[in-house]
Amino acid sequence: MPIFKEEKGKLIQVNTVGFSKEKALQNLIENNLIAVLDLHFIASEYPTTAGGRIDTLAVDVNGCPVIIEYKLLKDENVINQALSYLKWLKAQKVEFFELLVTKKLGNPFSEKVRKNWNNPKVICIAENYNKFDLDTVEVIPIHIELFKYRYYENGLLNLEPLNNIKVVQPKISISSKKSEPDINLNLKKLLSVAKPPYLEIANELRGRIMQIDEEIEERPTSYYIGYRMSKNFAEIHIGKSQVSVYLRPVDYDDPLNKVEKIPDSYNWSINRKVSIKSIEDINYVMTLIERSYQDVL
């Protein structure tokens, strides 16, 4: 769909300009990886021992490794290339990826997430895809996401999710690591920690957040309950005597000064925190959560 800008009540179509080189697209995405894809940058042009270089190596907010490949031309076989890199990445030891994450993002981030080596994913970013690309994505049993980009005059970039397929992969046996628990077990474990009235607070928050938008996904992990649209906008962390909500780094209308900032050195994309100690706090906190939700629309 074309993009228009309004000038004195008239809509004027914005022209596409494209990229002259693939590297220009790659650099733009890498320099803004958290903003556009909610991913943390690990490396650019990462060399593999099987030959070739991974365009962008990243990690998502849940600790899953991510391979990003770019293409300018429709006939480039970027998906097969990305899958080849994924095969190489999965053949490496778990400690290899853990060391990369800790070295690049530091201990605070590394300790917060559980490295989810069993669930790597591939992201491809291109101006267009052919039928072969789309058919391939539909049948391969991995998590692969296709994004179509459009670059417009005046520096406007649009990334549109296209036919994103999320297929549960067969579990991979790794002797040094246990398989990730089922998300329902994660939720049960997280809620079991809370004592009344904090269990009531957590469940009230869960229900109120899901009422904001029917498209919101609730994703329990081993450490928190996440809520996302295109990106995570809230995380509920449950303790025995406190419930904390982590939010996106935006400006909040916070007259009670409840929002705390997490140090930038932690490399957390969800780096604002508000603590809830009574059920009466929920109405106030929901206004903050809704502001964070608006940031991912």
* DSSP per-residue letters across 188-244: HHHHHH--TTHHHHHHHHHHHHHTT-TT-EEEE-SS-EEEESSSEEEEEEE-SS-EE
List the pLDDT tens digit at each of the 297 positions of the chain: 678 889 989 999 899 888 888 999 999 999 999 889 989 999 999 998 877 899 999 998 878 899 999 988 765 677 888 888 888 888 887 777 888 888 888 877 777 666 666 678 899 998 888 777 777 777 776 778 889 899 998 899 998 887 544 433 333 333 334 444 455 788 888 888 888 888 899 999 999 999 998 889 898 888 899 998 878 999 999 988 889 999 999 999 999 999 999 988 888 888 999 999 889 999 999 999 999 999 887
Does the reported pTM lie above 0.85? Answer: no
Instruction: Write the single-letter amino acid at 131.
Output: K
pLDDT for the residue 182 = 57
> Count of residues for the chain?
297
What pairs with residue 57 in β-bridges?
Answer: 43, 67
Q: Name the residue among 56, 68, 72, 69 with its Cα closest to residue 19.
A: 72
Which residues face 291 on adjacent strands? none
Nearest alpha carbon to residue 246 among 221, 279, 214: 221
Question: DSSP code of 266?
Answer: G
CATH number of 4-166: 3.40.1350.10
3-class secondary structure, 161 = strand
- What is the Cα 254 distance to its own chain's centre? 26
CATH 3.90.1150 is right for the domain spanning 183-294: yes
Contacts of residue 99, Cβ cutoff 8 Å, sequence gap at least 6: none
Q: Are 105 and 58 in contact (CB under 8 A)?
A: no
Q: Which part of the chain has CATH 3.90.1150?
A: 183-294
Q: By three-state DSSP, how is residue 182 classified?
A: coil
Question: Which residues belong to CATH 3.40.1350.10 in the chain?
Answer: 4-166
Token pair for 271: 């780096």
Helix axis angle, 183-193 relative to 198-210, nearest 10°? Answer: 140
Strands 65-71 and 121-126: parallel
Contact 214, 247 (CB under 8 A): no
